[in-house]
Structure 1
Amino acid sequence: MSEKKYILGMDIGTTSVKVCVYDPITKELIAKQNKDTAANIPSDQGIEGNKQDVPKIVSAVHYCVSRLPRDVLRHVMKIGVCGQMHGVVLWRNGAWEKIEKDGVVIRFEATRENMSALYTWQDTRCKPEFLESLPKPDSHLNCYSGYGVATLIWMLKHKPEKLRNFNYSATVQDFVVAMLCNLDMPITSDQNAASWGYFNTEKNDWNTDILKSIDFPINLLPKVVKSGNIAGQLSSSWNGIPEGTPVGAGLGDLQCSILATLESKQDAVLNISTSAQLAFVVDKISNLGCNTIEHLPYFDNEYLVVAASLNGGNVLATFVKMLQQWMLELGCPIPQSKVWEKVIALGLEAPASAMKITPLLLGERHVPKAKASVENIDLSNIQLGQVFKALCDSLIDNLHVMMPKEILQNAHIKRIVGNGSGLSRNAVLQRAVEHYYSLPLEFTSGGDAAKGAAIAVMSNND
């Protein structure tokens, strides 16, 4: 009987860490774990800053992996890692350590005093005026607030002493890969590099000359390899995974969730979790006549055509928390799960109304100063179900403005595959998708970014 060979996939997300063990022969998941990171920490930039504590994220990674069966982990032959895009963490030597017991490494830990916080994709300290003052990137992709290079340039201008404290920077998933492999220099994929700004995907290189012209510390930029390539080897055995196991370069969570979901080039994938993305795969960059769509590096030199909205499940969650808070203030506390259950049930029964919600609580990258608003309120449409239905409709309408259905029709897309808990648990949103896009919405067994990270390193023979 042949030796079992599995792949460990990890997704280091905005709110949680998910891990799975994937069998490349049966294409089944053998085991999986997840844990909320609860890693958000206050920023000295107030609501404009968005920071997370990396040691807490690393602790969640250890928690998840340590709870997978040992007899499964000893058969892991590769590790694939993906995570939240755009964000940046800085560190210097000594940013991680191996905790040993009886001479055996039992876990890796991040060392808080030798690293910065993770400045996430939700960080809005880079105002439009600041971004407009920067040199234009040599790239088909723009650079927005929350993107790694933009955040680093902001620090260069406003907190240069902070940058001088550190030698390296990368996304949080790249940090985890560097820690597991004990890398001297962080390695990232073209997916993560493109998500930072100032990266040319066709040349597969940073805009070093442009960045040098503003005295940007080029030494902080990670080395870039193609997505799916191996970054290094596990520097010691870890929860039963053998020392020397190849570890893939960190990937984008969006690309990995789509890799795990897509069954055909005629599928588009709609992911609604914290934010919202609608995407499909193409062979090359082309002009679609729409400035709200981007071409992001995918796998095998292909691109994802993406409309990426900052407003998704986070907007609905804020609405639900607001209702819960109102009930508490009225002296009628109610669990959040009950609020969700009720608003979805009421939304499904609610008739259409003239109420028009602009759901841009977080603005959008192409209109960062946009705010949320409500129009056409009258006595006939103030029932809770109608308001919730109008809010769900508005989120899909916003995506439809960013990527109209004609673009999907021209790409011969036959169906939309749904992904993300924000969509799978909300039948009101699902109805809105079919209404706006005139395409069937289906759910498959895909969608797991951790599984996608495992699939991505599966075929690599480095």
Structure 2
Amino acid sequence: MAARPVTLGIDLGTTSVKAALLGAASGDPSEFVVLASCARAARAEVAAESSAAGPQGREQDVSRIVQALNECIAALPRQQLRNVGGIGVSGQMHGVMFWKTGQGCEWTEGGAAPLFEPRAVSHLVTWQDGRCSSGFLASLPQPESHLSVATGFGCATIFWLLKNRPEFLKSYDAAGTIHDYVVAMLCGLPRPLMSDQNAASWGYFNTQSQSWNSEILKGSGFPVHLLPDIAEPGSVAGGTSHVWLEIPKGTPVGVAMGDLQASVYSCMAQRTDAGLEVEESTVYSRMIQAAVQQKDTCLTITPTVLGERHLPDELASVTRISSSDLSLGHVTRALCRGIVQNLHSMLPFQQLQEWGVERVMGSGSALSRNEVLKQEVQRAFPLPVAFGQDVDAAVGAALIMLQKNLHQKS
């Protein structure tokens, strides 16, 4: 009896790379099991002094990200890799990197484990990049989009490079997110493909017409030839052009999707669920323990140190300070409450009620590891709240590909 095909999910996050192997538990596409998973820290941050944008720049070394990816895949069971029948990919949104078509990577052949290594690529300018000031953003053309353009958005970064480093852009003829790049390299695509999720995160993309604001961009001298072609997230971008660490050549690879969407998809069991994603952060156990004991506080912390994309000038603050509210427990409780209240201000409970949402699903490693954040979510959202177990974007990316394959066969 032939082994049942499995699906590989990959998530290229801001700090780490994750991979998960999923198999259908039965003929029902909604039932699956995680067969194996792996995570590796990317450690890809580039020193600020190495960035042309100076201290405001946030860039990552693509070679280190791909190295972590190869290590992740190599750590998975070899026999299960041989049975991979589809690959789903997700990753950090908004960011942009550049490469030379046909020269973006090199495959090592002849060894026991063929893999690819980046060549002729730029650094990845991440979503955290702050090179585009408010004044610079105000000088850009108004987009036809449901989103305003913010620093860290791919198109804003390209505009900045066009003004400050025009020669740099002439070295490349393709651009995309880090996960678009990986899909293009795995499949040997002549042009990168991008999902509407990632395109919207770049700015200057109309989700209704599913098209770039090409005429607006051309009018400002924007290099529109760098913009990827648009495809449905999770649809097949192509097949692997080489054997990749035991994964067969010709394995279907899905168009890359956003990590937020993949994370939410992995833990939503019902259509009436609302996904709540908390960005991964380091929270010390002593702080959490102290805050668990400190049930309430009058201290108020607004945690937007970097501002928000829709309010870039509204920075962090601490108010209602008193001598009785300065303990570790008070400060940590106030910080966790501020994080959740900031999320609630962008998606209020009343709006969820209007949409008919009946349950909130909480996911993200910062949330799953922090009991205080969980308590504050339950305080802010007076709905049943469920916290996902072992859910992440890699699982979501694999699940979407798995369900598409099962639907096509049924």
Deviation at 1:412, TM superposition (A): 2.1
3-state SS of paired residue (1:344): helix
Unaligned runs of 5+ in 1: 275-312, 321-339
Q: For 2:395 and 2:99, locate their aligned partners in 1 and report how far apart those are by CA, in whole Å.
A: 28
Deviation at 1:177, TM superposition (A): 0.7
Indicate the RMSD between aligned Cα atoms, in angstroms: 1.6
Deviation at 1:441, TM superposition (A): 2.1
Please, which of 379, 384, 395 is the counterpart of residue 451 of structure 1?
395
3-state SS of paired residue (1:166): coil
- Asked if 1 retains the 8 angstrom alpha-carbon contact of 2:277 and 2:364, the reply is yes
Q: For 2:273 and 2:384, locate their aligned partners in 1 and report how far apart those are by CA, in whole Å.
A: 10
Q: Are 1:21 and 2:21 an aligned pair?
A: yes
Question: Could you say which residue in structure 1 is the equivalent of 2:36?
Answer: 31
Deviation at 1:446, TM superposition (A): 5.9
Q: Are 1:223 and 2:229 an aligned pair?
A: yes
Question: Could you say which residue in structure 2 is the equivalent of 1:131?
Answer: 137
Deviations 1:88-123 (A, max 9, x none): 001114220011235x66211012xx1110000001
3-state SS of paired residue (1:58): helix
Question: Could you say which residue in structure 2 is the equivalent of 1:96?
Answer: 105
Q: For 2:269 and 2:295, locate their aligned partners in 1 and report how far apart those are by CA, in whole Å.
A: 35
Deviations 1:208-233 (A, max 9, x none): 11111011111111111111211111
Question: Could you say which residue in structure 1 is the equivalent of 2:296?
Answer: 352
Report the AA paired with residue 310 of structure 2: H
Q: Report 1:59-98 matches (<5 A).
A: 59-93=67-101, 94-98=103-107
Deviation at 1:2, TM superposition (A): 4.1
Q: For 2:157 and 2:18, locate their aligned partners in 1 and report how far apart those are by CA, in whole Å.
A: 26
3-state SS of paired residue (1:130): helix
TM-score normalised by L of structure 1: 0.83
Q: Are 1:4 and 2:13 an aligned pair?
A: no
- Asked if 2 retains the 8 angstrom alpha-carbon contact of 1:98 and 1:105, the reply is no
Question: Could you say which residue in structure 1 is the equivalent of 2:59?
Answer: 51
Q: For 2:87 and 2:344, locate their aligned partners in 1 and report how far apart those are by CA, in whole Å.
A: 37
- Asked if 2 retains the 8 angstrom alpha-carbon contact of 1:262 and 1:446, the reply is no
Question: Could you say which residue in structure 1 is the equivalent of 2:148?
Answer: 142
Please, which of 336, 339, 344 is the counterpart of residue 392 of structure 1?
336
Q: For 1:389 and 1:46, locate their aligned partners in 2 and report how far apart those are by CA, in whole Å.
A: 35
3-state SS of paired residue (1:428): helix
Q: For 1:358 and 1:443, locate their aligned partners in 2 and report how far apart those are by CA, in whole Å.
A: 24
3-state SS of paired residue (2:143): coil
Deviation at 1:154, TM superposition (A): 0.9
Question: Could you say which residue in structure 1 is the equivalent of 2:46?
Answer: 41
Q: 1:156 to 1:40 in 2, by over 3 A?
A: same
Q: Are 1:178 and 2:122 an aligned pair?
A: no
Deviation at 1:447, TM superposition (A): 2.6
- Asked if 1 retains the 8 angstrom alpha-carbon contact of 2:8 and 2:22, the reply is yes
Deviation at 1:351, TM superposition (A): 4.3
Report the AA paired with residue 67 of structure 2: S
**Percent identity for Structure 1 against Structure 2:** 43
Q: For 1:131 and 1:389, locate their aligned partners in 2 and report how far apart those are by CA, in whole Å.
A: 35
Deviation at 1:74, TM superposition (A): 0.8
Q: For 2:256 and 2:337, locate their aligned partners in 1 and report how far apart those are by CA, in whole Å.
A: 35
Q: For 2:165 and 2:81, locate their aligned partners in 1 and report how far apart those are by CA, in whole Å.
A: 43
Give the structure, 1 or 2, with the largest relative contact order (CA under 8 Å, sep 6 or more): 2
3-state SS of paired residue (1:35): strand
3-state SS of paired residue (1:41): coil
Q: For 1:440 and 1:47, locate their aligned partners in 2 and report how far apart those are by CA, in whole Å.
A: 43
Please, which of 355, 376, 391 is the counterpart of residue 432 of structure 1?
376
Deviations 1:208-265 (A, max 9, x none): 1111101111111111111121111101111111111111111101111111111112
- Asked if 2 retains the 8 angstrom alpha-carbon contact of 1:34 and 1:64, the reply is yes
3-state SS of paired residue (2:325): coil
Deviation at 1:366, TM superposition (A): 1.1
- Asked if 1 retains the 8 angstrom alpha-carbon contact of 2:297 and 2:333, the reply is no
Q: For 1:182 and 1:229, locate their aligned partners in 2 and report how far apart those are by CA, in whole Å.
A: 16
Deviations 1:103-155 (A, max 9, x none): x66211012xx111000000111112211211111222222111111100111
Please, which of 392, 396, 401 is the counterpart of residue 345 of structure 2?
401
Deviation at 1:66, TM superposition (A): 0.8
Deviation at 1:47, TM superposition (A): 2.9
Deviations 1:3-51 (A, max 9, x none): 3111111000000000011103440011111100000002232331100
3-state SS of paired residue (2:267): coil
Q: For 1:30 and 1:436, locate their aligned partners in 2 and report how far apart those are by CA, in whole Å.
A: 36
Q: For 1:48 and 1:12, locate their aligned partners in 2 and report how far apart those are by CA, in whole Å.
A: 23
- Asked if 1 retains the 8 angstrom alpha-carbon contact of 2:9 and 2:19, the reply is yes
Q: 1:158 to 1:74 in 2, by over 3 A?
A: same
3-state SS of paired residue (1:260): helix
Query: 4+ residue stretches of structure 1 with deviation over 6 A?
Result: none
Q: For 1:266 and 1:446, locate their aligned partners in 2 and report how far apart those are by CA, in whole Å.
A: 21
Report the AA paired with residue 37 of structure 1: A
Question: Could you say which residue in structure 2 is the equivalent of 1:418?
Answer: 362
- Asked if 1 retains the 8 angstrom alpha-carbon contact of 2:193 and 2:228, the reply is yes
- Asked if 2 retains the 8 angstrom alpha-carbon contact of 1:188 and 1:250, the reply is yes
Report the AA paired with residue 421 of structure 1: S
Report the AA paired with residue 6 of structure 2: Y
- Asked if 1 retains the 8 angstrom alpha-carbon contact of 2:113 and 2:246, the reply is no
Q: For 1:204 and 1:394, locate their aligned partners in 2 and report how far apart those are by CA, in whole Å.
A: 36
Unaligned runs of 5+ in 2: 27-31
- Asked if 2 retains the 8 angstrom alpha-carbon contact of 1:24 and 1:455, the reply is no
Report the AA paired with residue 10 of structure 2: M
3-state SS of paired residue (1:59): helix
Deviations 1:288-314 (A, max 9, x none): xxxxxxxxxxxxxxxxxxxxxxxxx3x
